[in-house]
Amino acid sequence: MKSSRVQRLKKAEKLTADGWSEKNGMKDFEPSEIIVEAGSEGSPLYRNLRKAFPDVPFTVVNQTDAHGPAPFASQDPFGDGKTRLVLTRHKGDFLKKCPGSDGQLCCNYFVVNFASNCPMDCSYCYLQEYLGQNPALKVFSNVGDLIEETDRLLSRHRRFLFRIGTGEITDSLALDPYIGFSSEVVPFFAEQPNALLELKTKSDRIEGLLGLDSKERVVVSWSMNPQKVIDADEPLTASFEERLTAARHCQEAGYKLGFHFDPIVEYPGWEVDYREMVERIFAAVDHRRIAWLSMGVLRNTLGLKRIMRERFPSTRVLSGEQVLCADGKMRYFQPLRVSMYRKMLGWIREASPTVFVYLCMESKEVWRQVFGFAPTCEKELGNRLVAYE
Ligand code: SF4
């Protein structure tokens, strides 16, 4: 039977009340149905899904169109799209340059999309607008093509060090225990002399990573927020403690770590919560194993705000004043952003004077005010990032 988003959120609340080990709603992710495009049955991901979900109905269809199966006739097609999983071949290129944002400094990052949409449901998630017409939760079965394409790119440019991430239009790890994607790609990246793979997540589903030898070519990174923000605006994600424990386990298993303080949300008393968050992270992990930290304040568009009001009417993240920036995104007023970044940077520097920190989707002007310098171009920022590897 199809479980609606509301049912899933209720389930997550119930689990939260039950205790630490079951706190993460993602531990109970179970799609109502799995739709398989004919031809995907030979994929290791299909076999893994079969094993993970023996009681879920699988329907093989001859062709899924670009938008996946017909959307649910529901008041919340985006939320309900997350409850049905589609396994299909990816047509076209897997790899692309991170689109960044007009006029903002970009960190020269490549993204590889192995899936689309995410089983978690953050109130501010830009996918609600970006995938609004295409909300099906999709996983791409042709991982072999993804690896071949990446191999071709890396082999052609051996003198360039690539940073490649998988968390642009999905969470890198939330589905991993069910599809086993990491066990397909980590061994490949472990052998690449000129690439770092970043797996970015708000889950704690690292079990598939722990037995693999990444040979220091894989960075596992967490988007971090104080528990107050997680409780209010990041439904179905892992708690702060769970993310931190997972990070520690990954560090022990030989992975490099990353942390993204993004989105930083301003509210009365935010300084106390964010300072404590930074201190707890640095007390728990070895700062010398952190490849990079990023900071970015909450940003959205007018369209996303409209969707958030409908889907999350009680969210408080819409209450702060925001201004329209040159790239069409709304952010806090620049002096407030600069002040927030400086405070965050100060707390980070108290814990680690050397860890590499960068800003996500901010202008050179903001960079200068926060760090006293701005990279001259995207290439320089990319080089600074990989210089830390
Ligand atoms: S974890 Fe990331 S991709 Fe998933 S809902 Fe939250 S913001 Fe969106």
pTM (2 d.p.): 0.89
pLDDT at position 70 is: 59
Nearest CA to ligand 1 atom 5: 121
DSSP code string of 179-247? H-HHHHHHHHHHT-TTEEEEEEESS---TTTTTS--TT-EEEEEE---HHHHHHH-TTSPPHHHHHHHH
Per-residue confidence band for 68, with pLDDT thresholds at 50, 70 and 90: low
Taking residues 14-32, what's their average pLDDT? 51
Q: For residue 165, what are the contacts with CB-CB under 8 A and spacing of at least 6?
A: 98, 109, 110, 111, 112, 172, 197, 198, 199, 200
Determine which of 186-195, 204-213, 315-324 has the lowest per-residue pLDDT on average. Answer: 315-324
State in Å: Cα 125 to ligand 1 middle: 5
Taking the CA of residue 237 as reference, the ligand 1 atom at the shortest distance is 1
Q: Which of 114, 118, 312, 317 has most ligand 1 atoms within 8 Å of its beta carbon, as the pocket-test mutant?
A: 118
Ligand 1 pocket check for 120: Cβ under 6 Å: yes
CB-CB contact of 327 with 103 (8 Å): yes
Would you say 33 and 56 are in contact if contact means Cβ atoms under 8 Å apart?
A: yes
- Residue whose tokens read 């952003």: 337
Q: Running DSSP on this structure, what letter comes out for residue 258?
A: E
On average, the pLDDT of the chain sits at 87
Whether the pLDDT of residue 261 is over 60: the answer is yes
Domain boundaries, the chain: 5-387
**119-145 pLDDT, tens per residue?**
999 999 999 999 999 999 999 999 999
* Ligand 1 pocket member 262 (CB < 6 A): no
Note the pLDDT of residue 361.
Answer: 86
Is the CB of 281 within 6 Å of ligand 1?
no
Residue 348 has pLDDT above 50, yes or no: yes
Q: From the CB of 197, is ligand 1 less than 6 Å away?
A: no
pLDDT tens profile 196-238: 999 999 999 999 999 999 999 999 999 999 999 999 999 999 9
Q: DSSP readout, 140-180?
A: ES-HHHHHHHHHHHHHHTTTS-EEEES-SSS-SSTTHHHH-
Phi, psi of 34 (to 5 degrees): -120, 120
Task: State whether the beta carbon of 260 lies less than 6 angstroms from ligand 1.
Answer: no
The CATH architecture to which 5-387 belongs is Alpha-Beta Horseshoe (3.80)
pLDDT score, position 4: 44
What number is the average pLDDT over the span 294-303?
Answer: 95
212 Cβ closer than 6 Å to some ligand 1 atom: no
Strands of the sheet containing 162-165, edge to edge, are 95-97, 110-112, 162-165, 195-201, 218-223, 256-264, 290-297, 357-359
